[in-house]
Structures are given as structure tokens and as C-alpha cells.
Structure 1
Amino acid sequence: MRQLPRYSLSTLTAAALLLAVALGAGPAEAEKADRLKPMNVTFDQGGQTDVANNRTEMNGNVVMTQGTMVLRAEKADIRETPDGYYQAYANGTSAKQVTFRQARDAPGEFIEGSADQLEYDTRADTVRFVGNARVRHMRGTLVAHEVTGATIIYDKRTEVFALEGGNSSPNPGGRSRLVLMPRAASAPEAPASSASAVPLQPSLTLQPRKPS
């Protein structure tokens, strides 16, 4: 996989630091056990393997899984590095983007995203969403935070997102966008307690008031 480009601090630092705090980076990372599990890939159409260069190409409804991580694309190119890591380049279509989903260590939480193209590097433990990119931090079925832009780079170890605007951003004017939901709004609604629904009882201590 090509080296990730360097961006100026003025472009990325504020958004990256803000998201690190918003996602609670530190105690809850992307599922750490996933990186130790085998990678499985299925696809519908043809493909080819270049043994000499440790490279495999697949086409048609490609589904790549590694533990809780699930990547879906129309076409994927996977390369093995000399030190045994994998670099995957995935492409979608105009009608169907590449999608990514992975659980966090926090129970019931996960990261999901989509883009025109996606680059997944198991050595750096990063996911690069390229073109009309959208990434969400989910708590169950509720959106806790959402980022959109032309390019989003997700560091799974630190859970920091770097955003870049541009012509392929889904937002007007090529801008990046960050939405932070209050924790109360993104938390599952607690069921009503039956103990709180106590019927009113007549008082036995009040006496009728005598006329003056």
C-alpha cells in the first residue's frame, strides 16, 4: 500500500484531536483480537493470483472478513508484505460503495463506514476511505458521531480520524463535516421501571376540616 500522504496541522489536527476525545480513545479501541485472526475472502467472479509478487485480485461481490471486521467491495486487490502483513485496495461502483464495519472493545459499539475506494493496511492498522467518505461511531443502532469528507483516515489503534476536504466530498463546497451527538441522545433508552408506576393511595391521616 502506498504511504499515506502528509497533511498540514491546520487541516487535520483540530478534527483529529476532537474525534479522539469524542470517541473516548484509550480504554476502548477497535477490537484488538481481530488483528490476530486469519483473513477470509469470498467473491463471485474471476480473479488471479501472482505468486511471485504475493498479489491476488478478486472481482464480484468481494467479502473480506477478519474477526469482527467485514469489508464489502466490487473489486479488491490484496498484497502480502515481506514481513507477512496484508494491504488491501478495494473499489466499489457508482451505484454501490465499498463498506467497512468493525466492533470496538466497548460492548455494543462499532465503527462503520463507506467510500468509493478503501485501503486497508493490517501492518499500520489503518483504514483509508477515499471519495465521498462517511464514517460513523455506532452505539447499538444509534449514531454517536459521524464524519464525512473527501478522504477519511481511521487509525484503529488510537481511534483517531484524519479528515480531508476536496471535490469528492459529499458535503457542499468540498468541505469536511463532523457531527457529535450528546451521549444521552445516543444511549439506548432505558425501559420504564414498573416500580415508578405506583398507584395513588388515599391518605389515612387527613381529617375533614370543620367549618369555622
Structure 2
Amino acid sequence: MSLRHPLLLSTALALALAAPLSQAAKDDRGRPLNLVFDREGAIDKVKQRSEFNGNVIMTKGSMELRADRMDVQETSDGYYQAYANGTSAKQVHFRQDRDTPGERIEGRADQIEYDTRTETIRLVGNAEARVMQGDQLKQALSGATLNYDNRTERLIVETGAGSPHPSGRGRVVLMPRNSASEPPPASSAPLPLRPSINLAPRQSPQQ
């Protein structure tokens, strides 16, 4: 019996997490795939499959995948499916800029699958993701598997075996909307008193 239980985060939460990511993916959709790697790479034109090893970095616009090994399969209709492989000790990392200036989404997992046709990103095994505004955390989520569907604006968290939490649970953290923009509280320290140069000494009335 499977221990995985998908949890669909819909309505306001799905829009908050998925909609800006969808816009970023839309901007990156027409960009080419670029790969750099340290060790050997093999391209099989017959099978339409490529293998890359050693600190592999894939970029497509602002989207970036980092893994020790990555396989890329070209589909019959000209799209690509990337399989980035890691381990729990050395996970695969993902990041992408969002539509809001200075905002980005970051994720990591034991494996990450990326499909350029459906614009979906699947983080598998000890999966974690967070939305950042500069250095400020806005949202965080984790589970056994995380699925981003940018076209339908859905986010699915799968719980069960492979979750980083006890008993295979999933977790979502939502920070207050204005936590990064609220002004700091006024100081309670007393204001320093300074002598005024515009006040003359008071003279006593003459007798």
C-alpha cells in the first residue's frame, strides 16, 4: 500500500505560490537550454538522449538546475525532459526568478524532473522549496514530493515515505504579507535634550 497522499493546495494558497512562478516560467519559456559540466558528456542522436556528469548546471532563462548528474531526453515534438539526479547527502538544487523584482523561488530534493513542454517541475525525495524576497523568507513548503504546474497554477505536496518530516508529514509555512515592508517600531528610549542657541536668559524685573 502506498504511503504517499497528495495534498492539493488550492484557492488563495495556490494563487499565492503558483501564479508568480507561472509568470516567471512564461518569460523563460522561449529561451534555449544551456548546460555546463566538469566531466564527460554523451549525446545519442538516435535515442535523442544526452547524459552529463560532474557539477552539471542547466539554465533556461532565469531557471537554474544544479546536479552531479543530469539526463536530458528530447521528445518527438521537440521538447525536452531533464532528469537531475542526486542523493539525500548531495541533493539537486533548483531556483528561478519570479515576476516581482527581487523575488525568487528555490528548491532542493534528491531528484528533480523538469519538462519544457508542460512547464512542470517535480521535486522528488526530501523535497523542500521556499519563496524569497531578497533575504526575507515569504513562504516555505516541504514533503516527500513537490509538484509545480505552472500552466494550471496548481501546487501539489505529496506526503509519505521520502518526506523530511517524521511520519511522512508535509509542511507549509506562510509568512505575514507585510512582514518585509512594515516600518520598524518606534524606539521607546527618551529623546536627548539639547540646549537651544535661540533662547536668551530670562531677566528678572527691576525693582
TM-score, with normalisation over the residues of structure 2? Answer: 0.81
Question: Is structure 2 residue 54 aligned with structure 1 residue 41?
Answer: no
Task: Find 1:19's aligned residue among 13, 17, 24.
Answer: 13
Cα–Cα, structure 1 residues 181 and 91, in superposed 2: closer, same or farther, change >3 Å? Answer: same
Q: Which residue of 2 aligns with 1:207?
A: none
Q: Which amino acid aligns with 2:127?
A: A
Structure-to-structure mapping, 1:42-191, within 5 angstroms: 42-185=36-179, 187-188=180-181
| Deviation for aligned residue 1:156 | 2.5
Cα–Cα, structure 1 residues 94 and 150, in superposed 2: closer, same or farther, change >3 Å? Answer: closer
Distance (whole Å) between structure 1 residues aligned to residue 21 and residue 46 of structure 2: 41
Q: 2:139, 2:172 within 8 Å by CA — same for their partners in 1?
A: yes
Unaligned runs of 5+ in 2: 186-190, 200-207
Q: Which amino acid aligns with 1:138?
A: M
Cα–Cα, structure 1 residues 51 and 163, in superposed 2: closer, same or farther, change >3 Å? Answer: same
Distance (whole Å) between structure 1 residues aligned to residue 85 and residue 171 of structure 2: 23
Q: Which residue of 1 aligns with 2:188?
A: none
| Deviation for aligned residue 1:191 | 8.5
Unaligned runs of 5+ in 1: 1-6, 193-197, 205-212
RMSD: 2.8
Distance (whole Å) between structure 2 residues aligned to residue 188 and residue 37 of structure 1: 33
| Deviation for aligned residue 1:188 | 5.0
Cα–Cα, structure 1 residues 31 and 107, in superposed 2: closer, same or farther, change >3 Å? Answer: farther
| Deviation for aligned residue 1:131 | 0.1
After superposition, the C-alpha distances for 1:171-201 in whole angstroms (9 at most, x for unaligned) are 111011110000122x256689xxxxx9989
Cα–Cα, structure 1 residues 52 and 27, in superposed 2: closer, same or farther, change >3 Å? Answer: closer
Q: 133-142 or 28-37, which moves further after superposition?
A: 28-37
